[in-house]
Chain A
Amino acid sequence: MSFDYDKYIRPGKLPHIWCPGCGHGIVMKGLIRAIDACGLKKEETAIVSGIGCASRLPGYMDCCTLHTAHGRAAAFATGVKMARPEMNVILVGGDGDGTAIGGNHFIHACRRNINMTYIILNNKIYGMTGGQFSPATPTGAKASTTPYGNPDPAFDIAKLAIGAGATFVARGTAFHANQIDKLITEAIQHKGFSVVEILDDCPTTYGRRNKFKSVVEMMNHLKDIAVPVKAAEKMSPEQLQGKVLTGVLHKEEKPEYTEQYAQVIERAQAAK
């Protein structure tokens, strides 16, 4: 029997706003399969986003959904999770939202290791505002505000998350659609702050300016550059030039924030 996505999609909210060929919808389907695999109850699941094309995702989901302000999803979500630690909290947003304007909240959510899952849809650009460069745009690439090529270096978002203290970090691509739900499932089941970066280059505002002739060509590009972490172990640095690692990149156990705070409550009440 084919998978019933409708069970998790809000009645009457489709069609979505995304362009044909946009990878954000592929990620949404992966998220839905992951929520189903984890058996999360819709009314006990909050999906929180910032602003951008990616951040429109929660509106289509039949859960408690919070579309916040640009860059602030992690901080809003921290409030929800602190007030109700029993809720499942999932964040969704773009690379610009999460690592430029929201960079501060992102690294601090990683540092606290608060039990939430953050799905970053890295399309390498500010899609919603028409293709200005983001902290994930490669050096040299064209964007509407880098007409002569991007002088900025790009973040490696997964490394940033690991460096900041996230205890589960994974990366996938929109091409590898069947892997997305597995990565998100593992992230949700992990106790602590988990980050799943999905590469889904924006065809409309990034591909067009950077000489990709079609969405198919962009998808093939994602296929070509992705190297599973296991396979990478057997490859030389030369062979890994221009590639990105996919799969689970980092996993460790560390004290989780809401559990740490539960101990604060215990200590405060014992001292009363």
Chain B
Amino acid sequence: MAKKVAFLQGNEAAAQGALYAGCKFFAGYPITPSTEVAEVMSVELPKVGGKFIQMEDEIGAMAALIGGSLAGSKALTSTSGPGLSLKQELIGYACIAEVPCVIVNVMRGGPSTGMPTGPSQSDIMSAKWGTHGDHPAICLVPASVQELYEETIRAFNLAEKYRTPVMIMPDEIVAHMRERIVFAEPGEIEVIDRTAPTVEPSKYKPYDTSFGDVPPLAAFGSGYKFHVTGLNKLPDGFPTTKAEYVQAEEERQVRKVEGNAADIMKWEEYLCDDADIIVVAFGSTSRSARFAVDEARKQGIKAGLFRLITFWPFPEARLLELSKKAKGFITPEMNLGMSHGVVKAAVEGNAPVLGIFRVDGEPINPGQIIDKMKEVK
């Protein structure tokens, strides 16, 4: 049987990916340029017995998301810059209480209301540092409608597998463009569900590390009674200020993600093996970069593209390795140098890193990238 094919907008594809992953709960608040995700979920969720709720603001949406997930539903919200800022306190709550959930954040110009309809890539630092305190961060940055669909499925898998919030951050161009997409057949892509406890309810502890760094999570209403808090906690979920527990728990929460970075990280190397100049790019910018690399090769410049698909955890070890041979790196991005700093730190001074930064609401074009290549000595 031929596969189902459609011509879809990025945001619609994200919603379809969530449904494929078994999402049964959506809580959100409208904001351009992410609203289509909510609109599709409001149509589709009730058809599969799921629940859609439009909350009074993004804080409420994030709160309801965590509540829905704790009650056992795979949960999604969608937002954009200003809404992401409002969600941050409770993203930290989901990190420390270890509640799986997925946040689609479509990147538009900022800070504040900024440019609501203009593309941007300036929320990638918010994904890691937006909420206070030490915490794990997973952030996916797809570059096409197909990839947004597939990465949304993966975002749910990672959230459920590691009991943590996962952010998926298409820029406005990826979220709003329309492309052909091929839907996965049922069973074609693996769908992961959180591990439920097998111990009898009276023995259950929601943070029992004897089961490993990711303890099983019961659902409220499934026969298990337990306590959830945003305070630093003991394995039984109750608050503690005991130094040895607090230190060990914080380290474990970060280790869940950093220690499994190899499983989480994804990137694509295009002509990097013999490249003198490596362009490190993500999202819609990486599409211009690929075009630029092909053009540069025609002009005799040995260029390559390192395309990030996860931004956090960041593949610094691989970039360090490539920096031993490369003569220079270029980081084109729709912000004022966010990935630039991260790439610079990764390559440890082995090669210069030149940035192309745009925050005027216009995409970065291949010509700009080729011009920059010519500056590498």
Contact = CB atoms under 8 A, between A and B. Distances in A.
B68 A69 contact: no
Contacts of A65: 225-228
A46 B90 contact: no
B239 A83 contact: no
B368 interface: no
**Chain B interface mostly helix, strand, loop or mixed?**
mixed
Interface stretch (A70-78, A135-143, A175-183): A70-78
Interface stretch (B47-55, B144-152, B155-163, B268-276): B47-55
A264 B47 CA distance: 9
A64 B220 contact: yes
A42 interface: yes
Interface string B87-112: 00110010000000000000000000
Given A13-B238, A84-B71, A76 B221 contact: no
B165 to A, nearest CB: 14
* Contact count band on B: 35 or more
Interface string A54-93: 0000110011111111001001111111111011000000
Interface residues of A, number: 40
A272 B49 CA distance: 12
Interface string A224-258: 00000000000000000000000000000000000
B230 A87 contact: no
Contact of B60 (A10, A67, A105, A265): A105
Nearest to B229: A67
A58 B47 contact: no
A189 B2 CA distance: 54
Given A79-B27, A83-B67, A63 B225 contact: yes
B64 interface: yes
A90 B172 CA distance: 40
14 contacts: A59-B239, A64-B226, A66-B67, A69-B93, A76-B67, A78-B67, A80-B70, A83-B71, A87-B71, A104-B57, A105-B56, A261-B51, A269-B46, A269-B47
Interface of B: 24-25, 27, 43, 46-47, 49, 51, 53, 55-57, 59-61, 63-73, 75, 89-90, 93, 201, 219-221, 223-231, 238-239
